[in-house]
Structure formats: C-alpha cells, structure tokens
Amino acid sequence: MGVQNQTWVHGEVERYKARLVARGFTQTFGIDYNETFASVAKFMSIRCILTLAAIEDMEIHQMDIKIAFLNGDLEEEIYMEQPKGFTHEGEHLVCKLHKSLYGLKQSPRPWNQKLDAFLKNIKITRSDADFSVYVAQVEDVKFFIVVYVDDLILVCSNKDKLLQVKEELSRKFEMKDLGDLHFFLGMEVERDCAQRLLSINQIGYLKEILKRFRMEDCKAIGVPLDPKTKLKKNVNKDDEMVKVPYQQAMGSLMYAMYGLRQSKVRCISQKH
C-alpha cells in the first residue's frame, strides 16, 4: 500500500514522498509485536543544546536518514500480503518480512536499536537525561547528536570531528546531508554570530495551521478569552461546535508552544 506525505519549508511543499507501508493497524499485541519505542528528543533538550552551541560558537549541522526504518532487524515473525503491482503468481503466497517496514507498530524500535549500537561503537553514548540525545567529549572537543526518529542534529566544537562523524554515518546508512541547520520539525533556525544571536521561529508552520482552520484573516489580540471563563462539556450533538476540530487546533497550538518557548539566545563565544 502506498502512502504519500510532504516535506515543508517556509510553509511550502519542498518535495513529495511515497513509500510501501504495512497495515500495522491489523497487528495484535503479543502476537506480531511486543515492545514499541520511537526516539523523539524533547523540545527542552533541543533548545538547551542549541543554546550551548550558540554560547560556545559550535558547529550545528543536520542530517536526514533515508528509509531509516528499513535498517531495523525484526525480532518477530511477520507476514504481509503481496503489494499490488508486485505480485508473484501462485496460490496463497505472502511476503515474509526480514527487515522492519514503515507502518509496523514496532518499526521505530529496531531502527533505534541499530542507530544506538552504531553510535556507541564510535564512542558516542546516550544521555541519561534524554534517551534521544547522544554525547561525547574527547579532551576539549564536545559532540552532541539529537535524534528525532530519522532526523539528526549534530553539534560539535570541532568542524573536522563533525565531518568525520558525518562521513562514518554516511558509510553505515544512506544519509542526506542538509548542511548547516536551518529547518527542523517545522522550526526555522536563524543564526547570526556577527550579532551574536540564534533564533527560532515557526512562521511557516503557524501560517499553515491558520489556513487549515480558516483563521488566516483573524485579528490578533493578547487574551482572546476571559481567563475566568469556566468551560463545560456540551453534550448536545446538534450544536454547531461539534463540527469544529477543537482538539486538533489545541494540539497544533501546543506544538508551537513547546517549540518556541525561549527561542532566542545570545552568543557570548570567546572567539568574538
């Protein structure tokens, strides 16, 4: 089954992607999947590491791992119907999966296990404070890797060391080198060391959700609702508010809140 999604930059579609995915919603816990885990860095960790990078004038790069889930080794025995257009003749033939596949409930976990083992092998260890952050320090060289499923932020105080690790990652996995960090999780990162500033904004993301909820022409006010207002559940299904995607809107706003909190820091590097 093919699924399409998009990559957004500046609020515009940068590219479309399509891939074969498994029908994970048909899986049964304890039979064809057990443990699940997706490596997702906390926004607090991302902000802290970007702050440290700004203060110490460290290199900040980004890499994307192509078809990341296909690198994972499955522990369970899983069979899948033959995808349309790629079938072999014969009665009741199915595909036996040797590697994890997009759509499986457990797919992020074996992928993360593969990445974790590789990073440990090159002496970059997982942080106890956030399992999606990896750290290393050799003498005066500091190195951080922030993992968000298949997106990586690499922060290093030495450019040669940073390029070395990027080369090792590219030899192990199929990678896309995105260079200096500019966009990550819908956030735009701007850095001006001449002015000693690093800032984050989600202008494109906010414009997109305003358009999605038909609020692009709304007028901004400081407090849109009286803070003393008491909300109560309306059980009347005929009420017009039933048609309003309230939970989706709140989730979208909370994502922006977590990403943009304390989004500007001042560089005080000794190099300047």
Kindly indicate the confidence band of residue 204, based on its pLDDT and cuts at 50, 70 and 90: confident
Decide if 223 is inside a domain: no
Decide if 225 is inside a domain: no
Decide if 7 is inside a domain: yes
How many domains is the chain built from? 1
| Structural domain range at position 57 | 2-217+242-266
- At 148, the amino acid letter reads Y
Higher per-residue pLDDT: 59 or 86: 59
The token pair that represents 69 in the structure block: 């889930």
Most confident of 12-16, 25-29, 244-248: 25-29
pLDDT in tens, 61-114: 999 998 899 999 998 999 988 888 777 777 778 888 989 999 999 999 999 999
Decide if 231 is inside a domain: no
Decide if 154 is inside a domain: yes
**128 with 85: CB under 8 angstroms?**
no
Decide if 230 is inside a domain: no
- pLDDT, mean over the chain: 84
Decide if 6 is inside a domain: yes
Decide if 57 is inside a domain: yes
Per-residue pLDDT for 174 more than 80?
yes
Residues of 202-234 as b/e, b for ≥16 C-beta within 10 angstroms?
A: bebbbebbeeeeeeeeeeeeeeeeeeeeeeeee
**pLDDT given for residue 121 in this prediction:** 94
From the list 104, 94, 95, the residue with the least C-alpha distance to 74 is 104
C-alpha 264/C-alpha 63 separation (Å) is: 23
**201 with 260: CB under 8 angstroms?**
yes
**pLDDT given for residue 265 in this prediction:** 47
